[in-house]
Chains A and B, each alone.
Chain A
Amino acid sequence: MALLETRGLNKRFGGLQVTSDVDLALEAGELHCLIGPNGAGKSTLFRLILGEFPPTSGAVFYDGQDVTRLQPHERIRRGISVKFQVPGIFASLSVAQNLEIALQHHLAGHGLRGEVRRLLGFLNLAGAAAEPAGNLSHGQKQWLEIGMAVSLKPKLLLLDEPTAGMSPEETRATGEMVRALNRDGVTVLAVEHDMAFVRQVATRVTVLHFGRIFAQGSIDAIVADERVAEIYLGRGHGERGAPQPAGGEAKRG
């Protein structure tokens, strides 16, 4: 059974159709990447899955239940967790307290403090535990937010461009961590522009274009798909390691 399923998901802002009839199914244990050109509706689809606004029509099923009418925090409590592109942290609170706030759902007292210490070590932030989180570097903020998202012990982890602004080494390290999480049983849906990252982690890829599912399959099948290359990969705007099909640059017209 699919862990996450969207059925005929439509979102219209005034006259603008942002997603059209999106039927996306994620099997439990999948590591699924969502790609597509800017404006393809990736972020909107994320926000529909999270419930930040209601769909114009269609439904979201999670863990076999219709969650379309649930508030975002209710979906989170059922085991969905998210890391946004811009790190969302509590800037003036200490790094340790940031983690505490995420962990206190299921831990308290000694157990909570121990888990905070363990996570700080895991995230390479042990030396900064008492620092205000706002003082961290951009990369460290990304890690902290990933730490917070993981602290919820999610079944489904949504990642919105997790490697934005990262160096190639950091990107690789993030990819390793995402794979490790996935091996531990977390289902992952990631929006990502970085094709090296997608290649490194994805078991399945969905291409979104003009709000519709344009193609779906393994990364190799997607890369080999001429139509995909046409709309997305062929433009070559900054996808590190993206394959450059012959004549790709001519597609702009």
Chain B
Amino acid sequence: MRFLRRLEGPQTLGRGPGFWGIAALAVALAAAYPLLTDAYTVGNTIYFFDWVFMALGLCLIWGYGGALSFGQTAFFGLSGYAYGVVTLDFGADHGLTLVATLLAVAASALFAAVLGYFLFFGRIGGVFLGIVTLAVTLVFERFMAQTAGPEWHVGAARLNGFNGMSGMPPLTVPWPGDDLVLSPDVPLYYVTLALLVVTYLGLRLLVNSSFGNVIVAIRENPHRATMLGYDVRKYQLATFVIGSALAGLSGVLYTSWGQYITPSSMGLTAAALPIIWVAVGGRGDLTTTLVGTLLLLGAFQFLTIYGSQYALVAMGLLLVVTVLLTPDGLVTALFRLPRRLGRRRPRAADAVDPGREAA
């Protein structure tokens, strides 16, 4: 109970036994999913989970912290390539892929710390933060795209320019007897699902802690937050590093899942997609971001199968419609709907004595 209370607070929408009941049911259904379908489909479903980490990280940076980073894909790609380089050079035995995962995520965290230091301690905010981060991811994309020649390699790992890097081993867990190879199959599905649940709960703890209080305070009024004795720059930097490490984790999971990473994963289109997921779902809340991202990824997949080139246009349209109609996000609006309907009647009664609370 005590743990549950720390997961709840003013910074997250879902609370109470009803919400946690539905959440447990959703996890149970997700856990039962491999029993209902074949291993190939299960393996493909992991793809959807892989992106959610980046979306949750952006939700933290943008929705909670108020800093719009347009370049989370830079960290996605950096960690993806780092995973490829380490595993192609050192192999997958003795749990090395897990070390590679840690190193790759650490590389993103470190890069975010350096970049973030100059951004936040240089007091670059608002639209300029978006411009600089977008420029960074585009520079990464351009750079990797021109590494086609044989001279571009790190040890045995060829960078391969626009065609991207491939053939890195999947995640491997050391196991007595024989190593457990997590190729896109049921075991990897469960590992990714568990990681997602842990990340979601961890972020809920974080945003409902005193740290979370400060980052939303900075979003609302950085000057006031400073005048309450908080070093705004440090909090912004910490938020950026955590969110970017999550983007890096997405990159590693994606790369090890598909055994493939290309520069286009850091391009303009790729960079715009997380912003659409988070904005359409509802950037102000972790749950709406999670649900929105999964829904949008599913819809996008469906559209690419049946409408190919129109899928991106539809995504752009969806963003515009969301911003115009439900600026807090579609899923957020759905979340609030029952409360709003329930509140309407008592509110009419209150109208007899307006401002009673205010007086």
Please list the residues of chain A having a beta carbon within 8 angstroms of any beta carbon in chain B: 50, 71-74, 76-77, 81-82, 84, 88-94, 97, 100-102, 104-105, 108, 127-128, 131, 136-137, 140, 148, 152
Contact = CB atoms under 8 A, between A and B. Distances in A.
Contacts of B231: 71, 73-74
B228 A100 contact: no
Contacts, number: 66
Contacts of B232: 73
Interface in B196-255: 210, 213-214, 216-217, 220-221, 223-232
B151 interface: no
B10 A76 contact: no
Contacts of A91: 220-221
B146 to A, nearest CB: 43
Contacts of A92: 220
Given A81-B227, A88-B221, 10 more contacts: A50-B227, A73-B227, A76-B229, A77-B229, A91-B221, A92-B220, A93-B216, A94-B10, A148-B224, A152-B228
A131 B213 contact: no
B10 A93 contact: yes
Contacts of A71: 231
Contacts of B210: 104, 108
A97 B229 contact: no
B339 interface: no
12 contacts: A73-B232, A89-B224, A90-B217, A91-B220, A91-B221, A93-B216, A94-B10, A101-B225, A104-B213, A127-B358, A148-B228, A152-B229
B226 A127 contact: no
A101 to B, nearest CB: 5
Given A93-B10, A104-B210, A88 B356 contact: no
Contact of A88 (B214, B216, B227, B229): B227
B222 to A, nearest CB: 10
B178 interface: no
A88 B224 contact: yes
Interface residues of B, number: 22
Interface of B: 10, 210, 213-214, 216-217, 220-221, 223-232, 356-359
A97 B220 CA distance: 12
Most A CB within 10 A of own CB, among B217, B226, B228: B228
In the A-B complex, list the 7 residue pairs whose CB atoms are closest, starting with the nearest.
A76-B229, A90-B220, A88-B224, A127-B357, A77-B229, A104-B210, A101-B217
Nearest to B229: A76
B214 A101 contact: yes
B234 to A, nearest CB: 9
A128 B359 CA distance: 9
A93 B357 contact: no
B230 A90 contact: no
A104 B211 CA distance: 10
Most B CB within 10 A of own CB, among A71, A84, A94, A97: A97
B120 to A, nearest CB: 13
B178 to A, nearest CB: 49
Contact of B10 (A81, A97, A108, A136): A97
Contacts of A81: 227
A226 to B, nearest CB: 38
Given A93-B220, A128-B358, A101 B213 contact: yes
Contacts of B221: 88-91
Nearest to B9: A97
Nearest to B213: A101
A101 B228 contact: yes
Nearest to B284: A92
B271 to A, nearest CB: 27
A127 B356 contact: yes
A140 B220 contact: no
B227 A76 contact: yes
A128 B357 contact: yes
Contacts of B217: 90, 93, 101
Contacts of A148: 224, 228
A77 B220 CA distance: 21
A131 to B, nearest CB: 7
Most A CB within 10 A of own CB, among B220, B227, B231: B227
B220 A76 contact: no
A32 B232 CA distance: 30
A224 to B, nearest CB: 36
Contact of B228 (A74, A97, A102, A131): A102
Contacts of A140: 358
A73 B229 CA distance: 4
B229 A90 contact: no
B332 to A, nearest CB: 13
A109 to B, nearest CB: 10
Contacts of B220: 90-93
A231 to B, nearest CB: 31
Contacts of B229: 73, 76-77, 105, 152
A74 B234 CA distance: 13
Contacts of A84: 227
B16 to A, nearest CB: 15
Contacts of B225: 101
Most B CB within 10 A of own CB, among A76, A81, A93, A101: A101
Given A73-B232, A128-B357, A136-B358, A82 B216 contact: no
A74 B217 CA distance: 18
Given A50-B227, A73-B231, A90 B357 contact: no
A82 B227 contact: yes
A63 B234 CA distance: 26
A103 to B, nearest CB: 10
